[in-house]
Amino acid sequence: MDNGHSNGIYRFFITATVFFVLALSAGCSQKAIRQPEPATEKEKTPYDILEKNVYGTSRLYIGKQYKTGANPDISSYSDCSNLICAVTRNSLTGSGFEFRPYYVSSDRIYDLSYEIKKAEIKAGDLMFFVDGKNKQNHVGVITRTSGAVVYFVQASSQAGVVERSTKSEAWEFYWKKHFDSFRRWKEIVFMETQPKY
């Protein structure tokens, strides 16, 4: 075989190999420096904040006595609607959201909330009860759940501000028969106080 021809084939083989290696390394280097897509972090909602803070906030009111029309933030008394508004309002403190009605009566709380299923409930949601005429006239706020057991804080005319559960004697004796629905605040009651960046 001609020696010059062999050298030509050899040079072609070397050149092709070098190009292949360079192309391969260029492709690898591009993959190595490519930035990943930024992960989108779930924005905190007022519902997330309530879920986190309602239990601790509700503790501040337990033991206050019942009095119609009393605001528990400025007295040692409360009624059910003032309690629910105070717990909701103060659970959002410093979060960038405010509970803007400040105070609404229990029938307005009903109008400003919507019904949810038991499987959906979380701390910060509401529990409504009816009187003997099937009128929704009493409300509590859910503080936590444990399995199928629901814990809620309410201002009862008999016991003042207490935490009850769906496993308590009071539930079996009275509240279970008067239970109406689980509900959640509508978004319109929350106002954002800090701009999003």
Q: What is the pLDDT of residues 176-191, one digit of tens each?
A: 999 999 999 999 999 9
Q: Rounded mean pLDDT of 1-5?
A: 52
The whole-number pLDDT of residue 69 equals 96
Rounded CA gap, 177 and 194, in Å? 43
* Among 126, 148, 130, 149, residue whose Cα is nearest residue 138: 130
Give residue-wise pLDDT tens across range 128-146.
Answer: 999 877 778 899 999 999 9
User: With 50 as the cut, is the pLDDT of residue 62 above it?
Assistant: yes
CA distances from residue 154 to 30, 37, 118, 140 in whole angstroms, order as listed: 62, 47, 18, 4
